[in-house]
Amino acid sequence: MALLVQKFGGSSVSDVDAIRRVAQRVAASRAAGDDVAVVVSAMGDTTDDLLDLAGQVSPNGPPERELDMLLTAGERISMALLAMAIQDLGTPARSFTGQQAGMRTDSSHGRARLLDVTPSRVAETLKRGEVAIVAGFQGVSEDEDITTLGRGGSDTTAVALAAALNADVCEIYTDVDGLYTADPRIVPTASRVTRITIEETLEMAAQGAKILHLRAVEYARRFGVPLHVRSSFSDQEGTWILVDRPLTGALHQDGTTRHTSDTTTTEDPMEDPLISGIAHDKSLAKITVVGVPDRPGAAAKVIGAVSTAGVSIDMIVQNVSTSPEGLSDISFTLPEADGTVAVAAVRELQHELGVADVLYTSHVGKLSLIGAGLRSNPAVAQRMFGALAEAGINIEMISTSEIRISVITDQDVLEEAVRAVHRAFRLDSDAEAVVYGGTGR
Amino acid sequence: MALLVQKFGGSSVSDVDAIRRVAQRVAASRAAGDDVAVVVSAMGDTTDDLLDLAGQVSPNGPPERELDMLLTAGERISMALLAMAIQDLGTPARSFTGQQAGMRTDSSHGRARLLDVTPSRVAETLKRGEVAIVAGFQGVSEDEDITTLGRGGSDTTAVALAAALNADVCEIYTDVDGLYTADPRIVPTASRVTRITIEETLEMAAQGAKILHLRAVEYARRFGVPLHVRSSFSDQEGTWILVDRPLTGALHQDGTTRHTSDTTTTEDPMEDPLISGIAHDKSLAKITVVGVPDRPGAAAKVIGAVSTAGVSIDMIVQNVSTSPEGLSDISFTLPEADGTVAVAAVRELQHELGVADVLYTSHVGKLSLIGAGLRSNPAVAQRMFGALAEAGINIEMISTSEIRISVITDQDVLEEAVRAVHRAFRLDSDAEAVVYGGTGR
C-alpha cells in the first residue's frame, strides 16, 4: 500500500465525462489499496473564461487581489464535482480548498510563493480511508486573503502536498503520456523517455518544455519527491522522474514492486552521457550590450537594471574581452513580450556605463539538448553544431551547463533546427536511442 | 453619513453590464458620503447551472458538503467581478468570502443556520473608506467546512451583516421596486406599498410572497434592522419595512433626512387596521386526518410524524370536537412536493391512533390578506369572505392571526381569488388605498 498524490490538469477535467473518467481512475487506485490524495485544476477553459469576464468589468486592468478571488472559483467547481463523482462510485471523498489543505503563502497575488504546507485535514481524511481532493493553484496568505501560485501552479500544489504528506510518488496526469525526446508536434517521430533525472527535467522545464512547471520540478528536487508524468487517457506507464540515484530504490522501500518499468533500468543513469531530449522555446528576444567596460560590476549593473524593471532574464552570455580597450559584449535573452521594457531599462544606463550601443533582436528561439554528462563529452557538442551547420542554421549564441547545451537561432528556423538535432542523435522512436559511449571517466 | 448594507440578488448581477450598473450605484452611494457594505448573490443562472453539473456527475444525488463547496463558487465569481468593476471606477473595494466576513454557521450543509457574525475585516475595510463586498448565502462551520444558508440565504447574510455592523438600513435591491398589494403578474393594478411593519412583512413572506426570504425578515425583526426593498433599475424609493414604531425615528437619529418618504408618514401605522397586501402560494397540498380522538397528544403525534419525515408543515387547522364520540378532524397544508412522503408518514400512524381515514388533496392554494389589526376588525374578514363568495370561490380552510387572514382554495381558482379580494379592498393603484376605519380601539 502506497500513498499517491495524483494531479489532474484542466484538460483531464474538461467536462462532465472527463470528470467521471478521472473519478473512475481515482476510485480504482483507492480500490487497489493505495491512499490517494488528488490535486485538481480548473475545468478546461474556466480560467480563460473568468479572465475574460475580469477584462470586461475592469477595462483598466483587474486588481490582483480580486483576480485571485475570482480565479480560485475555478478549482472550487472542479474539485467539488470530482468529489461528487467519486462518491457516486461508492468511494468516500472530500474536497479541500487551498486554505483548508494548509497551503499558506506570501501575499504576492497572482504569483504567491508557498511559505508553509500543513495538510493536517488531508492527512486525517486519508487516515479514514477516504480520498482527499485538494484545489490546485491556490493558497491563503498570512492576512487570510486568497492567493494563487500563478499559471501551472497546480503542479506546485501537487508536489508540495506530496512532500508534506511524504507520499511515495506524485503522479502528474496530462494529455500526453510522458516526456518526449522533443515536442511531438514538431518532431512526429519523437520517442517517450521512460526515466529521467530531476536535474535533466529541471533543465527541460527551464528551457521551455511545457509539460511540467519549472517551479514544481524545483520543489520536487528540493524535497525529494519522485514524479511520474503519465496520460490521463491510458493506463500505460509514462515518464518517471527520479530525484537522485539512491531514491530510485527508495520508491520501493516497502518491498512492493508495483511499477514494472522500475525493474527494467538497473544501470546508473549518470554512467554514460545519455541524451534525454530536446527542449525549445520560440518566444524569446535577445539584447546585446556592445562595448561594456571589462571591470567588476558592469554586468551586474546591466542585469540589475533589467531585473528592476520586472523582466526575468533567461540566458546570459559574456565572452572574454579580447579588444585592446578591454571592452566586451554582454548578451542575454528574455521573453519576447518584455523586450520593449528591457531595452528601455538598459538604454537608460547607456551613458552611465559608457557602453557603445544596445542592440535588440526580437523573434529569436532557443534549442536545448539535455542529457547527463554532456559537457564532459565534446563529441556531443560537435555533433549538435555539425547537424545545425548541415541544415544551414546559423547559431547566434551558445550556452552550456553540465547537462545542457543551448543555442539561440532565428525563430523561423527553430523547428527545423529541432528536427535536425533530433535526427542527428537518432532520437526518433523507430530508431534505437543513441547512448554516447563514455570516454573513460 | 450613514452606514448602508446593499444587497443585490442574482438578477441584479446577471451579466457584465448588470455588474457594471451595480458598481456605478455602489460608487455613487460611496461618493455621497455613506459607508457601503455590499452583499451579492451568484450571477443570474450560475446556481442553476452548477446544480445541473452536480446532477450530471452524481446520478445518485450529490453529497451536501460537496454541493455547498460547489455552489459557493457562484458568489465568489460575482463578488470578485463586482469589486473589480467598482475599483475600475476609482472607488476602492475589497471582496470577502462568508468565512472572511465572519459568517460562522452550524454544520447543516445546504441549510446552515448562523451561529455568530463577526465581520471585523468588513468593519476595518469600511473604516478605511473602502467598499466591502461580502458573498451572500455562505458561511463556514466550526469544522472549517464551507456551508450555505439555503436558497434566498443572501437576504439573510445582508440582514445579519447589517445587524452586526449596526447599519442604518439594509437595502434589498431586486427586479421590482418594492412590495406590492398583490403579485403584479396576477393583479396588474396592484400598487406599491411605501411602508409596512416588519410583522406584516413576516406574514407576507411566510404566506408565499417571494420578494423577501422569510428567514431574513425574522432576522431583521429580531435584531431591529430597518429594511428598504427597492429596484436595482431605478433610483425611486421602494418599500420601507420598519422594525417597530420607535425605530421609525431612529432611522434619522443622526439628524439627516435622506429618505424623503419618511417625512410623509407621521401617523402611527398601528392606529388603524390597514391592509398591506395579499400574498399567495400556489404549490400546496392538504392532508386531513379524519376522526382523531379528542385527547391530549393526538395532534402532536400526527404533526410529529410528518415533521420526522422531514416535511415542513404550513398551516394547521383543528376545529373543536362536536361529534358525540369526541372525534375531530385535523387538517394541515404542506408543500405539494412533499405530499407523498407526508401521507405515508401519517398512514403509518393510522392504526396506532385509531383514526378513521387520511384524506389527501394535492393542488390547493393559499391566499392571505395581511394588515395590522385585522383580527380586531370583523368587517375585514366579512368583506374578504363575501368577495370570494361573489366570485364563486369555495373556501376549504380558514386560519387567522393578529395581522393575517388565510384561506385555502383550489389551485385553479387561486389567481381569480387574489384578484377578487384585491378589488374588494380597492387596493388597485388607480384607486385610493383603503384604510379601514378604526373601531375605536
Q: Which among B38, B67, B271, B249 has a CA at the least distance from the CA of B136?
A: B38
The better pLDDT of the pair B59, B244 is held by: B59
One domain for residues B257 and B366? no
- Overall pTM > 0.80: no
Q: Check pLDDT > 80 for residue B296.
A: no
Q: How far is CA A340 from the centre of its chain?
A: 26
Q: Which among A55, A138, A66 has a CA at the least distance from the CA of A99?
A: A138
Average pLDDT, chain B: 83
The domain of B404 spans: 277-424
**Does residue A205 belong to any structural domain of this protein?**
yes
Confidence of residue A93 (pLDDT cuts 50, 70, 90): very high
One domain for residues B147 and B115? yes
**Does residue A270 belong to any structural domain of this protein?**
no
Domain boundary among the residues B220, B243, B265 is at B265
One domain for residues A293 and A214? no
Q: Check pLDDT > 50 for residue A441.
A: no
One domain for residues B63 and B127? yes
**Does residue B272 belong to any structural domain of this protein?**
no
pLDDT of residue B435: 34
What proportion of chain A, given as a percentage, has pLDDT over 90?
A: 45
Q: Check pLDDT > 90 for residue A79.
A: yes
User: Do residue B53 and residue A81 have CB atoms under 8 angstroms apart?
Assistant: yes
Q: What mean pLDDT is predicted for residues B25-34? A: 96
Query: Which residues in A have their CB inside 8 Å of a CB on B?
Result: 16, 19-20, 23, 50, 53-54, 56-60, 62-63, 65-67, 69-70, 72-74, 76-77, 79-85, 87-88, 93-95, 97, 100, 121, 144-146
One domain for residues B236 and B317? no
**A138: helix, coil or strand?**
strand
Confidence of residue B232 (pLDDT cuts 50, 70, 90): confident
> CB burial class (10 A; 0-12, 13-18, 19+) of residue B168?
buried
Interstrand relation of A35-40 and A114-117 (parallel, antiparallel or unpaired): unpaired
> B326 to each of A317, B292, B355, how far by Cα in Å?
104, 8, 12
Q: What mean pLDDT is predicted for residues B207-229? A: 83
C-beta atoms surrounding A140 within 10 Å? 22
Domain boundary among the residues A230, A265, A300 is at A265
Q: Where are the alpha helices (DSSP H) in A104-254?
A: 120-127, 153-165, 198-206, 214-223, 245-250
Task: Answer for the pair A278, A182: CB distance below 8 angstroms, yes or no.
Answer: yes
**Does residue B355 belong to any structural domain of this protein?**
yes
Give kind and range of the element (H or E) at residue B291.
Answer: strand B274-293
Residue of B17, B47, B53, B131 to mutate for A, most A C-beta atoms under 10 A: B53
Please give the full DSSP string across A6-45, using - where no structure is assigned. Answer: EEE-GGGGSSHHHHHHHHHHHHHHHHTT-EEEEEE---TT
Nearest to A19 among B23, B57, B76 (CB): B57
**Does residue A413 belong to any structural domain of this protein?**
yes
Q: What mean pLDDT is predicted for residues A69-76? A: 96
Interstrand relation of A327-335 and A316-318 (parallel, antiparallel or unpaired): antiparallel
Q: What mean pLDDT is predicted for residues B367-379? A: 76
φ, ψ of residue A233 in degrees (nearest 5): -105, 0
pLDDT of residue A399: 82
Q: At what angle do helices A214-223 and A198-206 cross, to 10 degrees?
A: 160
- Quote the CA–CA distance of A390 and A424 in Å, as a whole number: 10
**A86: helix, coil or strand?**
helix
The better pLDDT of the pair B97, B403 is held by: B97
pLDDT of residue B208: 67
Residue of B66, B118, B120, B146 to mutate for A, most A C-beta atoms under 10 A: B66
What proportion of chain A, given as a percentage, has pLDDT over 70?
A: 87
Which has the minimum average pLDDT: A271-275, A284-288, B168-172, B436-440? B436-440
- Quote the CA–CA distance of B67 and B63 in Å, as a whole number: 6
Average pLDDT, chain A: 83
User: Do residue B88 and residue A58 have CB atoms under 8 angstroms apart?
Assistant: yes
- Quote the CA–CA distance of A161 and A38 in Å, as a whole number: 10
- Quote the CA–CA distance of A165 and A200 in Å, as a whole number: 25
The better pLDDT of the pair B294, B229 is held by: B229
The better pLDDT of the pair B55, A290 is held by: B55
Residues of chain A in contact with residue B19, where contact means CB-CB under 8 angstroms, are 57
pLDDT of residue A242: 86
One domain for residues B168 and B110? yes
Interstrand relation of B274-293 and B327-335 (parallel, antiparallel or unpaired): antiparallel
Nearest to B62 among A16, A63, A84 (CB): A84
Query: Which residues in B have their CB inside 8 Å of a CB on A?
Result: 16, 19-20, 23, 50, 53-54, 56-60, 62-63, 65-67, 69-70, 72-74, 76-77, 79-85, 87-88, 94-95, 97, 100, 121, 144-146
Q: What is the pLDDT of residues B306-348, one digit of tens each?
A: 878 878 777 888 776 667 777 878 888 888 988 988 999 999 8
Residues of chain A in contact with residue B121, where contact means CB-CB under 8 angstroms, are 144
CA distance B12 to chain A (A): 15
- Quote the CA–CA distance of B138 and A73 in Å, as a whole number: 14
pLDDT of residue A204: 78
What proportion of chain B, given as a percentage, has pLDDT over 70?
A: 87
C-beta atoms surrounding B104 within 10 Å? 17
- Quote the CA–CA distance of B82 and B20 in Å, as a whole number: 7
Q: Check pLDDT > 90 for residue B397.
A: no
pLDDT of residue B375: 63
Q: What mean pLDDT is predicted for residues B134-144? A: 96
**Does residue A78 belong to any structural domain of this protein?**
yes
Q: Check which CATH number belongs to the domain holding B328 and give it.
A: 3.30.2130.10
One domain for residues A186 and A324? no
DSSP state of A166: T
Nearest to A88 among B58, B67, B69 (CB): B58
DSSP state of B88: H
pLDDT of residue A265: 35
Confidence of residue B356 (pLDDT cuts 50, 70, 90): confident
pLDDT of residue A319: 72
- Quote the CA–CA distance of A392 and A385 in Å, as a whole number: 11
Confidence of residue A100 (pLDDT cuts 50, 70, 90): very high
Interstrand relation of A195-197 and A169-174 (parallel, antiparallel or unpaired): unpaired
**Does residue B438 belong to any structural domain of this protein?**
no
CA distance B14 to chain A (A): 12
Task: Answer for the pair A26, A90: CB distance below 8 angstroms, yes or no.
Answer: no
Nearest to A87 among B58, B97, B146 (CB): B58
Q: What is the pLDDT of residues A145-182, one digit of tens each?
A: 999 997 679 999 999 999 999 999 999 998 888 888 88
Q: Which among A175, A129, A148, A143 has a CA at the least distance from the CA of A7?
A: A175
Q: What is the pLDDT of residues A329-371, one digit of tens each?
A: 888 888 898 898 899 999 988 888 888 889 999 999 999 988 8
Query: Is the Cα dihedral B240, B235, B151, B97 positive or negative?
Result: negative
Give kind and range of the element (H or E) at residue B2.
Answer: none
φ, ψ of residue B283 in degrees (nearest 5): -105, 60
Residues of chain B in contact with residue A87, where contact means CB-CB under 8 angstroms, are 58, 63, 66
CA distance B117 to chain A (A): 17
- Quote the CA–CA distance of B164 and A49 in Å, as a whole number: 36
**Closest CA in chain A for residue B71:** A77
> A332 to each of A204, A314, B139, how far by Cα in Å?
19, 7, 51
Residues of chain A in contact with residue B70, where contact means CB-CB under 8 angstroms, are 76-77, 80-81, 84
Residues paired with A116 in a beta bridge: A104
pLDDT of residue A250: 30
Q: What mean pLDDT is predicted for residues B50-63? A: 94
The better pLDDT of the pair A431, A193 is held by: A193
Sheet holding B131-135, edge to edge: B93-96, B131-135, B35-40, B3-8, B169-174, B227-231, B239-242, B195-197
CA angle B89, B92, B93 (to 5 degrees): 100
Task: Answer for the pair B104, B117: CB distance below 8 angstroms, yes or no.
Answer: yes
One domain for residues B171 and B209? yes
- Quote the CA–CA distance of B413 and B416 in Å, as a whole number: 5
Confidence of residue B267 (pLDDT cuts 50, 70, 90): very low
What proportion of chain B, given as a percentage, has pLDDT over 90?
A: 45
Domain boundary among the residues A265, A290, A321 is at A265
What is the C-alpha R_g of chain A?
23
Domain count, chain A: 2
Residue of A14, A16, A21, A66 to mutate for B, most B C-beta atoms under 10 A: A66
> B339 to each of B180, B288, B360, B365, how far by Cα in Å?
30, 12, 8, 14
**Does residue B437 belong to any structural domain of this protein?**
no
C-beta atoms surrounding A21 within 10 Å? 17
What is the C-alpha R_g of chain B?
23
- Quote the CA–CA distance of A46 and A53 in Å, as a whole number: 11
Q: Check which CATH number belongs to the domain holding A179 and give it.
A: 3.40.1160.10
CA distance B92 to chain A (A): 10
One domain for residues A305 and A257? no
One domain for residues B284 and B253? no
Task: Answer for the pair B368, B398: CB distance below 8 angstroms, yes or no.
Answer: no
Give kind and range of the element (H or E) at residue B322.
Answer: none
One domain for residues A246 and A374? no
One domain for residues A163 and A292? no
The letter for the amino acid at B177 is D
